[in-house]
Structure 1
Amino acid sequence: MADRPVAIAEKRLMDVKLGELGSWLGARDFTPNGIITAVRRGHDRYFNKYVNVRRGGIGGVAMLLAGYVTLSYIWEYDHIKHDRWRKYH
């Protein structure tokens, strides 16, 4: 089954071809209510993609652990540096 054609007003900006950009901009709603709706829709998309994650994995825990190890090494670097064995004092 072929995909049905989508109206130009319903396309996202990344899906619009350069020749269709003028008509796509003309179909946008630039009233204050339309701008508020667009900002709200963008916020909802961002929130659902990055904040409201449905399934978690080991990636988030590994990133948190790597950040903790890096940060604690930076905090303790002066002590580690002075405790090294040196040939010449």
Structure 2
Amino acid sequence: MNKLLAITVLIVVLALEAESFRMPRQAEEEKGTIASVVDTLKFYYDMSVDTASGYVETIKDYKLEEKAKNLYDETVSAVSTYAGIFNDQIYHIFYSQDSS
């Protein structure tokens, strides 16, 4: 019986000691108006940057740069051909040899 009483007292003392070592909860610091506005702006900025990055990645997947370059090259080729033909026609209009 003495051992049971000693063990019970020891457990109670240890439980009280353990409770006294608990860390008190720290109350969350309330944010001021400026801090909450800055946090909101930062959130929307990050969200817009992420959205824009997603759009850029989608555009890169479409390979629009390559298609635009090919279109430009084909257009330059066609225009230079027709410009050469037009140049020859103008030249022959002004410098044609009269066969008479």
Q: Which has the higher contact order (CA 8 A, sep 6+)?
A: 1
Same fold (TM over 0.5): no
TM range (shorter): 0.3 to 0.5
Structure with higher helix content: 2
Higher-Rg member (1/2): 2
